[in-house]
């Protein structure tokens, strides 16, 4: 997929429609895997760990005194935070769900850290002391970032939720990169559509002529020569994959989610597109892991290439050429054969 992602990034960098006043971005800026392109919130991962009322307060029927805020620390520290709330005038004995929304939000999410003089309620001999308040979110985030204790970090991790990053919508890209469009879509949008659709979106640009170029507006590079050159290259690459029956895949599909058969065909597509001269490809069972229906599209893709294809298993299914000989004749020398003359054997 990288061989497709690179020209796509180049297309957005050189020929995208930028917002008014925005400077041109490098192609790196359109990859979440680079320092320039990674979303500052999730560092390009596209996922964010967040807290919510439900994650911090799993049982809203409890009062704060009974431990409603499960994410808070236990023991002395937890009692300390509760005492601070009491001194600040909050109700710690009413069930959580009956507290006013404003109070609940402040207790869970405030960035403020008021310091109050606390007289411990539970111990008459204890002396008053200065206590600093931490909202449940501040406490969880602070512990995750700064605690030296693995146990502590694991404990607070249980109160976090994992989901798409709210800043980049899960794309891992910066707001600046997501503001650039091509054919009305962001690069995240194009990464998400099946390649059959991607081909149709870029096809009009590949067909632009010089006359069409002049009529395009200046603020967008979508009609310039660069756009035409890049989209033509991209369309060629995409077409190889469409021919291999992979048109349903989206560019943004991560490698671990691909099946062995899909990986196999992507590798073949990369090889065939590399355009090496004077090379013979020896494809050892290129149909391994493929359903016969998926193996069939390989045939026209392989015909133009001088390829030797020992694939006894596929040949027995009658779907793919088995190279020169197979089955009981396997290993027979094949010097002088031409690939195309053997497809039917
Ligand atoms: Zn993000």
CATH homologous superfamily, domain 53-161: ABC transporter ATPase domain-like (1.10.8.280)
Domain boundaries, the chain: 2-46+169-243, 53-161, 274-342
The Cβ of residue 144 has, within 10 Å, a number of other Cβ atoms equal to 16
Cα–Cα distance measured from residue 180 to residue 293, given in angstroms and rounded to the nearest whole number: 39
> What's residue 283's pLDDT?
63
> What's residue 342's pLDDT?
45
> What's residue 44's pLDDT?
86
> What's residue 272's pLDDT?
64
Cα–Cα distance measured from residue 224 to residue 216, given in angstroms and rounded to the nearest whole number: 8
Measure 256 CA to ligand 1 centroid, in angstroms.
21
Measure 30 CA to ligand 1 centroid, in angstroms.
13
Measure 47 CA to ligand 1 centroid, in angstroms.
6
> What's residue 10's pLDDT?
93
Mean pLDDT per 10-residue interval, the chain, length 345 residues: 83 91 90 88 84 92 93 87 92 94 95 87 71 92 87 88 87 93 93 92 84 50 85 90 86 76 72 59 64 68 53 42 45 42 43
Residue 220: phi, psi to the nearest 5? -120, 140
CA distances (Å), origin 266, targets 238, 261, 286: 11, 9, 11
> What's residue 5's pLDDT?
87
Number of C-alpha atoms within 13 angstroms, CB side, residue 184?
1
Q: E-assigned strands of 12-57?
A: 47-50
Measure 188 CA to ligand 1 centroid, in angstroms.
12
Measure 162 CA to ligand 1 centroid, in angstroms.
12
> What's residue 185's pLDDT?
94
Measure 109 CA to ligand 1 centroid, in angstroms.
20
Cα–Cα distance measured from residue 345 to residue 329, given in angstroms and rounded to the nearest whole number: 12
CATH homologous superfamily, domain 2-46+169-243: ABC transporter ATPase  like domain (1.20.1580.10)
> What's residue 94's pLDDT?
94
- Report the predicted TM-score, pTM, of the whole model to 2 decimal places: 0.60
Measure 178 CA to ligand 1 centroid, in angstroms.
11
In the block, residue with structure tokens 């979106």: 201
Measure 32 CA to ligand 1 centroid, in angstroms.
9
């Amino acid at each position: 997929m990288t061989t497709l992602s690179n020209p796509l990034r180049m297309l957005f960098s050189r020929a995208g429609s930028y917002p008014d006043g925005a400077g041109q971005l490098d192609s790196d800026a359109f990859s979440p895997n680079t320092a320039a392109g990674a979303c500052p919130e999730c560092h390009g991962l596209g996922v964010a760990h967040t807290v919510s009322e439900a994650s911090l307060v799993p049982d809203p029927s409890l009062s704060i005194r009974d431990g409603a805020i499960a994410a808070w620390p236990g023991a002395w520290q937890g009692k300390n935070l509760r005492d601070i709330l009491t001194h600040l005038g909050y109700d710690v004995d009413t069930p959580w769900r009956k507290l006013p929304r404003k109070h609940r939000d402040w207790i869970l999410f405030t960035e403020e850290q008021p310091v109050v003089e606390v007289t411990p309620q539970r111990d008459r001999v204890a002396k008053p002391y200065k206590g600093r308040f931490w909202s449940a979110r501040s406490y969880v985030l602070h512990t995750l970032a700064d605690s030296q204790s693995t146990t502590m970090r694991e404990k607070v991790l249980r109160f976090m939720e994992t989901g798409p990053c709210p800043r980049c919508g899960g794309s891992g890209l910066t707001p600046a990169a997501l503001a650039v469009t091509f054919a009305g879509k962001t690069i995240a949008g194009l990464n998400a559509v099946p390649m059959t659709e991607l081909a149709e979106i870029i096809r009009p640009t590949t067909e632009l002529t010089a006359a069409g170029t002049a009529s395009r507006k200046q603020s967008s590079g979508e009609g310039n020569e660069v756009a035409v050159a890049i989209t033509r290259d991209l369309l060629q690459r995409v077409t190889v994959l469409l021919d291999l029956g992979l048109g349903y895949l989206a560019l943004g599909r991560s490698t671990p989610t691909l099946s062995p058969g899909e990986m196999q065909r992507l590798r073949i597509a990369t090889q065939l597109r590399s355009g090496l001269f004077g090379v013979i490809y020896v494809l050892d069972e290129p149909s391994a892991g493929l359903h016969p229906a998926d193996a069939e599209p390989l045939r026209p893709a392989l015909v133009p290439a001088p390829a030797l294809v020992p694939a006894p298993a596929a040949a027995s299914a009658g779907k793919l050429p088995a190279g020169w000989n197979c089955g009981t004749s396997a290993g027979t020398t094949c010097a002088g054969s031409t690939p195309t003359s053997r497809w039917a054997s």
